Amino acid sequence: MAEPARRIDVLSTGPRFTAADVEALNARFADVPTIAMLRAVLREGLAGDVAAVSSFGAESAVLLHLIATIDRSVPVLFLDTGKHFPETLDYRDTVMKRLGMTNLVNLTPNAEALTARDGTGLRWSYDPDGCCEIRKVQPLAAALTHFDASFTGRKGFQSATRAGLQTFELDQTDAQGRLKINPLATWSSGQVKAYFDATGLPAHPLVAQGYPSIGCSPCTTRVAPGEDPRSGRWKGWDKTECGIHVDGAAEVLPPGYDPAF
């Protein structure tokens, strides 16, 4: 008797998730509490291999606390740009220890790229987009190739550009079709504060000094009462995002781009 034909293995090269998947997930979790949604995503594997991307900024501890109540081993990706406030680095270590999270991944810029394109360390002063590309966009893009989805701490109230943010999105920074999950998308500033109060989470020390949104030290300034919480980021520049949440961010600047001034 002839042997049955061997089944041919097929390697899928399509995107991990589609727009239809995103629509279905947003519909399924439209009225579901945040913690229940996170529990389903992590325990049912709805998003595949997932990592949390955290700046350890003013409100970062809330999302990390929620994740830690479910799975303390979720990878936490931190973009260690070399330009952070010392207080942020201390806060990172404090929060990770407090929550008992076990998988901090510090992402650093490529050393050759820094030497070639920011040897003085001053690129932020004349080309903040280029600085962010080297120190944030490129390192994160490389790290996320190993994951199917990422959690972010973005919230709709933070700025006009984030209004209407959905819980589930397609990550449009490349063509891999990862999910970008924003568990706190619909939370208000009052809800965030109430969560800090209820859990006793430590506040970032710079919040009390007038920094409601905290990024790299050269590009972050204090915010006056009543101003947009992110108005202190890249003040004076036509720039509202570092690039990691901008569609096609990895291709915004051509290879080797260097401004003439």
* Catalytic machinery residues: 242
Distance between first and last Cα of the chain: 77
Written as six digits, the tokens of 29 are: 């979790």
> What is the C-alpha to C-alpha distance for residues 182 and 38, in angstroms, rounded to an integer?
10
Q: Which of 165, 161, 184 is nearest to 239 (CA)?
A: 161
Residue with tokens 């800090």: 196
> Residue 241 corresponds to which tokens in the numbers above?
């995002």
Q: Locate 96 and state its tokens.
A: 């990770």
- The answer to whether 53 and 75 have CB atoms below 8 angstroms apart is no
